Amino acid sequence: MLASQKDFNNAVSQVKLLKEDPGNEVKLKLYALYKQATEGPCNVPKPGMLGFINKTKWDAWNALGSLSKEAARQNYVDLVSRLSASSESPSPEAPAADRKQPESDSLVVTSEDGITTIRLNRPAKKNALTTQMYRDIIAALQAASKDESAITVLTGSGDYYCSGNDLTNFTHLPAGGLEEMARSAAALLRDFVNCFIDFPKPLVAVVNGPAVGISVTILGLFDVVYATDRASFHTPFSHLGQSPEGCSSYTFPKIMGSSKAAEMLLFGKKLTAQEACAQGLVTEVFPDGTFQKEVWARLKAYSKLPPNAMRISKQIIRNREKEKLHAVNAEESSVLRERWQSDECMNAIASFLSRKVKL
Ligand SMILES: CCCCC/C=C/CC(=O)SCCNC(=O)CCNC(=O)[C@H](O)C(C)(C)COP(=O)(O)OP(=O)(O)OC[C@H]1O[C@@H](n2cnc3c(N)ncnc32)[C@H](O)[C@@H]1OP(=O)(O)O
């Protein structure tokens, strides 16, 4: 049920009681939603360039297009309720009020200083990604795309960034057998990668240690990748009887040239952090001892930049590529669906599980 006029009036009064100034961006959003909820779509002429503040307000209102009064009222009420909750929140680490927490504690999502951090939290298993973690990351990215943060970060707990797909995912066979397992894994993989393709805000990987498999391939879809000098980047798909995913069959040749990409994706060459940086996959490498301090200080400074400008700039960069990336993702997922049913793949996974082979 949409918010009533009474809910809306209460929210208007509540705004005046906020303990913290929500900042200009949020105030502009509140203004636009208020105008849309009370007067409908923007119906006044655009102010001239010299009336800068009025023009900014007009732009915000006009950007709501034909959003109905009822929907604007609801969005206004939701926004005020989030602001009230966060201004009452005892800890700056508390998650955004509207964020559904992950199903398992293998993923931890926090929001602080304009940064939403999605942390892989399975250090005993080198942050290998379980099926539930893929689902939780999808949900976390969807929530982060709508929350108040300016930047979103993916990182890992412990000494690894991520050891890629949890190879035991392939051992939980559903009633439909291997074929059904491969079908549902391919659908999940496609949804997972789509979220990275479509993510609207600056997305930063803070690579705190070695990275393997899918955690490496999706780096080509991030805006910025910071790595400790302890990190390495390994895509052993042929060893595992598999093929590239995360759009890497397209992004890697584009980033590092086709022969360097082939050495990684066909032969599983492991790159050091410095090599990955020289080849353009990593933005900057930091000494491990100062990695966390330097990276977070930098991200905190970036998170103060105007969020709308960053979103719009990302949109311009990404839009040109989106259609292509979705097509690549669909193709890679469908090829993997077949690979996962192959003897080569099954044997490789069995070898890992029986501890005969480690990367
Ligand atoms: C929806 C489905 C989408 C699928 C998308 C497809 C993606 C493709 C890929 O991601 S391919 C990459 C898959 N990953 C691997 O092949 C890595 C396998 N792991 C290793 O080779 C090693 O564990 C290591 C090199 C990452 C780390 O070696 P190290 O000696 O430092 O540590 P351990 O081997 O003792 O590991 C500690 C425990 O963690 C478990 N573990 C590590 N990685 C994985 C993994 N990927 N899957 C499952 N389990 C993993 C390891 O078994 C140890 O567990 P234990 O303590 O219980 O023995």
- The per-residue pLDDT for range 160-211, each reduced to its tens digit, is 999 999 999 988 888 889 999 999 999 999 999 999 999 999 999 999 999 9
The domain in which residue 328 lies consists of 107-357
8-state DSSP, 102: P
Over residues 332-358, mean pLDDT: 88
> Residue 284 falls within a domain, yes or no?
yes
209-230 residue pLDDT tens: 999 999 999 999 999 999 999 9
> Residue 201 falls within a domain, yes or no?
yes
Q: Which atom of ligand 1 is nearest to the CA of 215?
A: 10
Answer yes or no: do 269 and 337 share one domain: yes
Answer yes or no: do 257 and 162 share one domain: yes
Whole-number average pLDDT of the chain: 91
pLDDT at 90: 43
Answer yes or no: do 80 and 115 share one domain: no
Answer yes or no: do 230 and 192 share one domain: yes
Q: Rounded to the nearest whole angstrom, what is the distance from the C-alpha of residue 45 to the centroid of ligand 1? A: 60
Of the candidates 255, 260, 244, 253, the residue with the CA atom closest to the CA atom of residue 193: 244
Answer yes or no: do 117 and 14 share one domain: no
> Residue 101 falls within a domain, yes or no?
no
Q: Report the 10 Å Cβ neighbour count for 255.
A: 16
pLDDT at 46: 86
60-92 residue pLDDT tens: 898 888 888 988 898 888 888 878 876 665 433
Question: What pTM, to 2 d.p., does this model score?
Answer: 0.77
CA 283 to chain centroid, in Å, comes to 17
Q: Whose CA is nearest to atom 14 of ligand 1?
A: 164
Over residues 234-257, mean pLDDT: 97
Residue 272 has pLDDT above 90, yes or no: yes
b/e per residue 43-59 (b: at least 16 CB within 10 A): eeeeeeeeeeeeeebbe
Which segment of 100-109, 180-189, 243-252 scores lowest on mean pLDDT?
A: 100-109
**Ligand 1: does its nearest atom lie under 6 Å from the Cβ of 244?**
no
Answer yes or no: do 78 and 227 share one domain: no
Q: Rounded to the nearest whole angstrom, what is the distance from the C-alpha of residue 272 to the centroid of ligand 1? A: 19
Answer yes or no: do 317 and 282 share one domain: yes
Percent of the chain with pLDDT over 90: 69
Last residue of a domain, one of 28, 52, 86: 86
> Residue 75 falls within a domain, yes or no?
yes
Q: Tokens representing 2? A: 């949409």
Higher-confidence position of 51 and 208: 208
Answer yes or no: do 268 and 154 share one domain: yes
Q: Which atom of ligand 1 is nearest to the CA of 134?
A: 1
Residue 42 has pLDDT above 90, yes or no: yes
> Residue 348 falls within a domain, yes or no?
yes
Residue 323 has pLDDT above 50, yes or no: yes
Q: Tokens representing 29? A: 């959003």
Q: Whose CA is nearest to atom 22 of ligand 1?
A: 358
